[in-house]
Amino acid sequence: MKVRPFHHQRPLAAIAAAYGAGIGAGARLPWHPAVYTAGFAVCLIAAALLPRIGRRRIIGVMGAMLCLGVLASGAALHPALPPEGKYTVTGVLTADMTLREDGTAAGYLTGVTLSGPEGEERLSKVYWTYRPREETEALPREGDQVRFEGTLYHPRGQENPYGFDFRMFLMQHGAAAGVSGNGDLTVDGHPGRGAASLLYRARQAVIRRLDAVFGAGSDLAKALLIGEKNDLPRETVRGFTDAGAAHILTVSGLHVALLAAVLMLPLRRLLSPRARFGVLAGFLLLYSAVLDFPAPVVRASVLLLIAGVRRLVRRAGDRLTALSAAFLLILLFRPLDLFSAGFQLSFCAVLGIELILPWMERKWPRIPREYAGVSLAATLGAALPTAQIFHRLSLIGLFINPLVCALFGVLIPAYLAVFAVGCVWLQAGQWLGAPLGMASAWITEAVKAAGNLPFATVRVPALPWYCVIALVCAALLATRYTVWPGKRKAAAAALILCAAFGVWRLTVCRDVRYVQLSVGQADSALILDGPETAVIDAGDYGGDTAAFLLSEGRKADRLILTHLHMDHCGGLRQLMDERVPIGAVYLPEGAEEQEADGQALSLLEELRGMGVPIEHLAAGDEIRTGRTEMTVLWPEHGRVRPGQDANRYSMTMLWDLDGVKLLYCSDMPGEYEGYAARDADILKVAHHGSKSSTLSGFLETVEARIAIVSASGRDVRLPHPDTLERLAAAGAKTFITGKTGAVSVRCRKGNAQITTFLEELQ
């Protein structure tokens, strides 16, 4: 019997795959809407004509969906925005303002009007941040209409290799632009509440009742029932992640199915099947809306509704087709969800159950399907996105996940039942919630203990895109959708994997690399010499520094902190939170005795408590590894006075990178530049390009042909125009990280090749 191709057997799955591929391509391709619209029209015409020449229409439909995906993601990522600048901003808060760790208040405004010299502009939603004048200042609340003087900015995309894409993050939340500031802020109260406001207030009411019923133990209940994870302790999230059970803390298929089952159980004898289906549909719609339609919840809801329709019409269905329908439904409305971690993990886990579980049942027929089989298949299905996103895989999770899912399968309905009692009779709910909270604490501690076991997790580097595709193709060859004989499947999979990973190994850069990351008005750089890695400062937020190290499978063998200001060492928090191994820390002599930031000193003490060795360096000290050599130029030994501005004694270094000389000036003031004036090929400009540094006499001595400035490029003071003029007069080609993205220098035997990250993306 002739076997039909996959796209003929599962046309909706093929269409969904084409649409998803189009969305992925649209995020990288140049934005030419007319070209993609023409391609869409041509494919539709082809779909209409193909049957007449004996060809399947599905080919044309897939081409049309591919073009539609490109159009959808391109349109979402290229909205028409007013020019950046000062405006009078009016809008309504969608939720209470939150106070971030850096002391900045943040929230979202809808129905925004921007009044400027050129007239009025309107945006549906913006991200609003400002710094309160006092710690006790009351913040605006949900539903308040606010009016203030602020600065509109266009969010930037990814600026560093493996870095955070701020623009994508905002657009996934529906905000196309950001506004900063709160000049002349006025709060006009509630101008009127719509459906979104009612849903938000309903969510807040549920949170307050959960707090009242479960008290101090409400953090886990809120995470499991309504996806509120902000109150979960950092140690709990880390423990579940290390144990491979972090999916339990995110509302997804397990949670939705359990909640729906609890709701439907008492209605079995009271309502007809059609009435029960209507109640289920209403509940799932309301629940998804209260949680703001997260992809895992919408996916689970769509699958439950499709299963309900099949039962009503008494027809067997195909789970892969149902999953494809959910995939299309979400991405047709929110195409950028394709790039979110929750979307990828949720769909890959279910895809793993559909594709891997049947193969496992054939190989190991005795494996318990309901527990170990389903859990293991879901874990394997989500393994690739987990590795790419979090750069670690949990080995212990393969063994404990079935038990964890079973325990929480009891715990979630119990939480819901106690919450229902507490809504009717608070004291009874509190009485029942006490032992439930104790049981939850025991389970949580057990999961955290499992995650702390030796070799519970393994670190994995990020794979290039072609290796990801090769792994996916090899996995698909093992499923029942590929009808080749077993030996041919194995040979094809081995060939694909060997080719992809062979190319990866052959193209790995073996030169010494210097990477100046783009971290705004802060500083962070890396020097990579084979497997050895030196990190110079960590910025004020070290998320991108940690992501780079984890993605390349590296540790910070040497972490050099030029001085203890938070814009240079605040990122230590993220390095520690992400568990980046730190070999040793180097400080300039007398660093702790200067006017250092208190938070920086606390982070340093935390490192000491972790057993990380901390050494002090002064002029003349050297560090040599492989093809690199570092010599400290400033401060000088025995000449450091305590109680000074930490910038005065920030460490200045001369690096020899396989024959390329790099002068790293940190935040050195201009009056001390004479101590560091050395001939160099590349100058890392001092103090983000401030006016008082990088003076003409210093530049005449250095004679650098390349200058790198770590600054956002948006602050008119940094880099200062006078500094840029002096650099240009000295003949140095200047790179400003805020404009170019990360600057990478490949060094080999005295030759330097410079590339910028944003230029590589184009």
Indicate which CATH number applies to the domain containing 140: 2.40.50
Note whether 150 and 180 are within 8 A (CB): yes
Provide the strand spans (E) within 403-511. Answer: 457-459
- For 513, list phi and psi in degrees, rounded to 5: -125, 140
Q: Provide the pLDDT confidence category of residue 5 given band limits of 50, 70 and 90.
A: low
Tell whether the model's pLDDT for residue 3 goes beyond 60. Answer: no
Give percent of the chain with pLDDT exceeding 90. Answer: 60
pLDDT exceeds cutoff 70 at 472: yes
Q: What is the pLDDT of residues 631-677, one digit of tens each?
A: 999 999 988 899 899 999 999 999 999 999 999 999 999 999 989 99
How many CB atoms sit inside 10 A of residue 331's CB? Answer: 22
The two tokens of residue 494 are 């081995």
Residue pointed to by tokens 């995906």: 69
Q: Taking Cα atoms as reference points, which of 554, 519, 520 lies closest to residue 534?
A: 554
Per-residue tokens: 509: 């850069």
> 370-374 contacts: CB < 8 A, separation 24 or more?
371/402, 371/403, 371/405, 371/406, 372/402
d(CA 702, CA 685): 11
Domain boundary among 192, 212, 233: 192
Do 469 and 567 fall into the same domain? no
The answer to the question of residue 38 being in a domain is yes
* Same domain membership, residue 586 and residue 560: yes
Dump pLDDT digits (tens) for 221-258. 999 999 888 888 888 988 888 888 888 898 988 899 99
Same domain, 603 and 708: yes
Do residues 666 and 728 both lie within one domain? yes
Query: Looking at 33, 61, 77, which one is the last position of a domain?
Result: 77
Give yes or no: residues 501 and 625 share one domain: no
Q: Which of 114-118, 193-197, 581-585 has the highest mean pLDDT?
A: 581-585
Query: How far is residue 29's CA from residue 423's CA, in Å, rounded to a whole number?
Result: 52
**Percentage, residues of the chain above pLDDT 70:** 95
User: Average pLDDT, stretch 722-736?
Assistant: 94
Average pLDDT over residues 518-547: 95
Which of 77, 95, 124 represents a domain boundary (last residue)?
77
Tokens, residue 716: 């008119």
Please tell me the distance from the alpha carbon of residue 320 to that of residue 6, in angstroms, as a whole number. 12
The confidence band for 46, taking pLDDT boundaries of 50, 70 and 90, is confident
* 727 and 620 housed in the same domain: yes
CATH code (residue 754): 3.60.15.10
Mean pLDDT of the region 211-217? 88
From the number of C-beta atoms within 10 Å of its C-beta (0-12, 13-18, 19+), residue 18 rates as buried
Q: Is position 319 within any domain?
A: no
Spell out the residues 6+ positions from residue 557 whose beta carbon is closer than 8 angstroms to its own.
Answer: 532, 533, 534, 583, 584, 625
Average pLDDT, the chain: 89
- Helix, strand, coil share (%) of the chain residues, nearest 5: 50, 20, 30
Same domain as 755, residue 736: yes
Same domain, 120 and 61: no
What pLDDT digit, counting tens, does each position of 95-107 carry? 888 888 778 899 9
The answer to whether residue 1 scores a pLDDT higher than 50 is no
Structural domain contains residue 660 = yes
pLDDT score of 379: 85
Collapsing DSSP to helix, strand or coil, 550 comes out as helix
Domain-embedded: residue 494: yes
Q: Classify residue 317: in a domain, yes or no.
A: no
Query: Which tokens belong to 525?
Result: 């750089």
Compute CA distances 277 → 265, 313, 321, 495, whole Å. 12, 12, 21, 49
Full domain range(s) for residue 496:
465-507
Q: Are residues 675 and 730 in the same domain?
A: yes
Whether 647 and 664 map to the same domain: the answer is yes
Domain identity same for 574 and 556 = yes
Q: Please, what is the Cα angle at 519 between 513 and 523, to 5 degrees?
A: 70
Statement: residue 38 has pLDDT above 50: yes
Residue 53 binned pLDDT confidence (cut-offs 50, 70, 90): low
For residue 372, pLDDT beyond 70:
no
pLDDT of residue 527: 97
Answer yes or no: are the C-beta atoms of 341 and 168 closer than 8 Å.
Answer: no
Note the pLDDT of residue 133: 81
What's the CA gap between 311 and 668, in Å, rounded? 73
Does 121 fall in a domain?
Answer: yes
Quick one: 544 and 670 in the same domain? yes
For the chain, what is the domain count? 4
pLDDT (average), residues 358-382 = 72
Other beta carbons within 10 Å of 278 = 13
Tokens found for residue 303: 């699958």
- On whether the CB atoms of residues 192 and 177 are closer than 8 A, the answer is no
Residue 629 is assigned to a structural domain of this protein: yes
- pLDDT, tens digit (0-9, with 9 covering 90-100), for 683-719: 999 999 999 899 999 999 999 999 999 998 776 678 9
pLDDT at 22: 96
Nearest residue to 249 (alpha-carbon basis) of 405, 395, 101: 405
In the sheet that holds 614-617, the strands lie side by side as 614-617, 585-588, 558-560, 532-538, 524-529, 512-516, 743-748, 751-756
**Model confidence pLDDT, tens digit, residues 550-608:** 999 999 999 999 999 999 999 999 999 998 999 999 999 999 999 888 899 999 999 99
Please indicate, yes or no, if residue 425 is contained in any of the structural domains. no
Window from 48-62, 118-132, 502-516, 542-556 with minimum mean pLDDT: 48-62
